[in-house]
A and B are shown apart, each in its own frame.
Chain A
C-alpha cells in the first residue's frame, strides 16, 4: 500500500490531477515544454515544497508515460587518478537522474562524463520524440565548485540533444555563470492555507474524519513542509484508527522534545555544572545522527522566546557566528557548546544587571 504522500502526488502539471499551489508557475512550466525548445532549468526551494514532483510532472509532460518506466542502474566512473567510483542512477529511455554529490569531491568526474555520455547518442526517430534527453541533477547546491565549472561549457555545447535540470535548496550556492544559463524556477514552500486545503482533500478522498483541532496542529507542526504534513496526518490516522479524539496531541519527534528540555536546562541556571550536563545531552543527540545545524536551529528556536528583547540581537549574532564556524569546522560539539556558553554569558549578565 502506497503512502499518502506518493498516492496523492500530482501526476500532471496542470489540470484535474495537477499541482494545487503556485498554479501560475505550473502553467508557465507547461508552456515552456509545449514548444520544442525547453531551456535548461534550475529548480530551487525548501524541502517539501514540491520540486521533485514538478520535475516528474515536467518529464511526463515531455515524454509521456515512458518517463515513468524507470530502472535503477549503478554506473561506474574512473577518476584520472584511477579511483573507481560507483553511483546510483535512476533512468528511463529519455532521462537520467542522479545525485552527483554522493561521490563527494569526485563529483566533477561524474558530471563531466554523464552529460557527454547522454549527448553522444541522439534519438533515432527525432520526428516522433523530443530531440533531446534530460539529465536531472539533484542536490546541485552541494556540487563542488569544480563540478559546477565543469558544467558550464558542456551545458552550452551539448544543449542540442541534452538538457539539464538542476534541483537545489539554496540558490546562493550555485555559481553565477550557471544561473545565467538556466531559467530559475523558484518553488516557494506552500502556505499554511495551501497545506490545509491539501490535507483536507486527501482526508476526504481517504474517507477519514479528523477533528479540526488535530488538523490545525498538524499544519502548525509541519513548518510548511507538505511531505511532513502528509506523513504526520497518515501517522495520526494509523495510531488512532478511524476515530480520532478531539484532544489528541500530535507528537513531536522525540529529539525535538529532548532539545527543548536541554534549552530549559540552559535557562534554569547558568553554571559550569549545567554546561557539563548540556554537553552530555548534546552528545546524545549528535550520536543519534541529528544533523548539527538542525540542533543549532532548534536550540535557538527554544531559547530566543525566553530572552529579553534587548539581548536577542546579540544572541542571534553569536548564533550566526558559531554556526558559520560549525559549517567550516570539523567537530560539531565544540561549536554548539561554545554557543551555549556564549548564550549563558549574555543571559546571565543581563539578568543580574540591576534594573
Chain B
C-alpha cells in the first residue's frame, strides 16, 4: 500500500484548529510537567528509555511524542529517523516482524551529536494492536535498544500485555484541569479573533470533560457562528436544550410517577437523547440531589454499569432506559 503524502495546506485555508494549534514544541504541551521535564532532559543528553504514554483522549500524548521528535532531529534527517505507525496502518504480526524490525535494525550514519545516533519508533494506539503482534514486539524492543527507542501511546494501559509495559518507562497523561484548558482556549480565541465571554468558555470546557481536543473542536465550530454575530444560534449551540431539560423533568417526576407515566417518558426520550451519556447524566443528577438513599446507591451504580454494557453491546436503548428508570423508581417506593 502506498502511503499517501501529507500535503501541506495552502496557507490560511482549511486546516482544522485541532491541527493548527497542536503543540509544536515541548514547551507548548500543557500541564504534563513530568513528561516534559523528562523529554527535555533527553534533549540535553540524558538517557532516554523506551516510553509508554497513556491517558484519556485529548491530553497531548501524540502531540508530546511528535513535538519531541521534531525538536530532537533537524528536518533533513527526520524522515530517516522516525517511524510513525498508527492503527490506520496495517499492524498485524507480519508488520512487526518486517517493517518495525527492519527499521530498527537499519544502520544510520553516525553523527557527531550522540543524540542523533538513535532512531525513534512511535507506535500510536497500541491498545488496538493484537496480542500476537504485541508479543512479537517484545523481542524487537530489546534486541534493538542500542539503536532504537520506542514511544508507545495508548489510552488504556491495561490492554497491553505485561511484558511490554515492563520494558518501558510509564507516563500517565493527566486530564487537563479547568484553568489550563480555559487558558489555552482563550489564547486560541484571541489569535483567531473570535471573542468569547468567560462563561461561554467555561461551558465549552465543561462539555468537553477534560478533553482539550474536543474543546478546540467545539470552539472551531462555534467560530463561524460568532463571526455572524448570531446570539440565538450561539446560545442554542452552547445550551443544547433537549438533554438537560429531560433529565430535570425525570428527576422531578420519577419519584411519584405511575408506571404508564414512566412508559410515556421513555417513549419520548429514547428517540431524542444520546444514549449512554444520557443514562449517566440522569444518575448523576439523582446523586447530586441526594435523592437516592445510601443503601440504594450501590444497587443503582451496578445497574448503570449493567445498562451501559448492554447498550454498548448493541442492545435496544428503549428497553434499557425503561429497565433503569423502573428499577430506580422502585427504590423510591420502598
Contact = CB atoms under 8 A, between A and B. Distances in A.
A interface, how many residues as a size bin?
Answer: 35 or more
Contacts of A287: none
A180 B213 contact: yes
Nearest to B228: A31
Contact of A316 (B6, B272, B317, B326): B326
B25 interface: no
A341 to B, nearest CB: 18
A157 interface: yes
B313 interface: yes
Contacts of B81: none
Interface in A109-127: 112-113, 115-117, 119-120, 122, 126
A109 B323 CA distance: 38
Contacts of A305: 260
B111 interface: no
Nearest to B3: A116
Interface string B262-283: 0100000001111111000000
Interface in B173-216: 208, 211, 213-214
B4 interface: yes
A296 B310 CA distance: 15
Contacts of B7: 119, 122, 160-161
Contacts of B330: 313
Contact of A39 (B221, B263, B313): B221
A149 interface: yes
Interface string B319-333: 110110011011000
A338 to B, nearest CB: 15
A69 B158 CA distance: 49
A141 to B, nearest CB: 8
Interface residues of B, number: 83
B248 interface: no
A171 B277 contact: yes
A340 B326 CA distance: 20
A180 B228 CA distance: 26
B310 A320 contact: yes
B249 interface: no
Contacts of A112: 88-90
Contacts of A37: 13-17, 220, 223
Contacts of A4: none
Interface in B17-32: 17-19
Interface in B288-334: 307-320, 322-323, 326-327, 329-330
A44 B17 CA distance: 23
A225 to B, nearest CB: 9
Contacts of B90: 80, 112
Interface in A304-341: 304-305, 309, 312-313, 316-317, 319-320, 323-324, 327-328
Contact of B258 (A131, A145, A309, A327): A309
A156 B128 contact: no
Given A120-B5, A161-B7, A297-B319, A224 B221 contact: no
Contact of A131 (B14, B220, B240, B313): B14
A62 B277 CA distance: 31
Interface stretch (A50-58, A183-191, A197-205, A207-215): A183-191
B10 A27 contact: no
Lowest 5 A-B CB distances belong to which pairs?
Answer: A188-B272, A153-B86, A172-B275, A149-B128, A149-B87
Interface of A: 24-25, 27-28, 31-32, 34-40, 44-46, 49, 80, 112-113, 115-117, 119-120, 122, 126, 130-132, 145-146, 149-154, 156-161, 170-173, 176-177, 179-183, 186, 188-189, 224, 293, 296-297, 300, 304-305, 309, 312-313, 316-317, 319-320, 323-324, 327-328
Given A28-B221, A46-B272, A170-B275, 19 more contacts: A28-B237, A31-B227, A35-B224, A37-B220, A46-B271, A115-B88, A126-B13, A149-B125, A154-B88, A161-B9, A172-B317, A173-B314, A176-B57, A181-B217, A186-B274, A188-B271, A316-B322, A320-B315, A324-B309
Interface of B: 1-10, 13-19, 56-58, 62, 86-90, 92, 94, 124-125, 128, 155, 208, 211, 213-214, 217-218, 220-221, 223-225, 227-228, 230, 232-233, 236-237, 240, 242, 258-260, 263, 271-277, 307-320, 322-323, 326-327, 329-330
